[in-house]
Amino acid sequence: MLYQNQWGCKREILLGNDHSEGTYRADAIPFGAVHSTPSDFRQGKEVTASIGRLHFAIVEDDTFMAELVCDMLIDQDAQPQVFSSGLEFLKSADRLTFHTILLDLSLPDIDGFDLMEKLAAQGTELSVLLMSGHNEAVLSSGKLYGNGLGLNVRGVLCKPFTKAELLAALGLAA
């Protein structure tokens, strides 16, 4: 069954789909420490909040992967919004309301590296979590590049990944 939720994410019930394989690497942050604004995060202030109050941008051109990540976040009462391209995300007036961008490195119009460059040029304070089906060397390069630009790249996830790996990369309980 497929339906669309209030955040524009399509949701499908999948049975017997095991995504337990995958590689996870992320920077450790204190368990339960979430931040109320990107500015608070940059300044290292810890604020008690629930994931349900957090807004996530999912910049992913693969429909199945975008829906899967969206579902994982919705299951935690988060508020994700999917963008199928980097330019679509850049044009969004809502992008300053997001706490974290879950960014695929391989996008059809502008790749994740170029998008990070544009975000850095705009002085964004959003956290970034990189996702890719490429090898870990590409993800590590992306993290180093983003951090070198002054972005807060919190971690990387090799696709496919589990819900527990995603939540751990975001510093949230599963």
Domains of the chain and any CATH numbers: 23-169 (3.40.50.2300)
pTM of the shown model: 0.70
Q: What does the alpha-carbon distance between residue 66 and residue 61 come to, in Å, rounded to a whole number?
A: 7
Q: Are 57 and 79 in contact (CB under 8 A)?
A: no
CA–CA separation, 156 and 137 (whole Å): 11
Structure tokens at 19: 């995504």
Q: At what angle do helices 112-121 and 136-148 cross, to 10 degrees?
A: 10
Residue 69 has pLDDT above 60, yes or no: yes
Task: Give 89-142 as a DSSP string.
Answer: HHH-GGGGG-SEEEEES--SSS-HHHHHHHHHHTT---EEEEEESS-HHHHHHH
pLDDT (tens digit, 9 = 90+) per residue, 11-45? 332 323 333 333 222 332 222 333 334 444 344 43
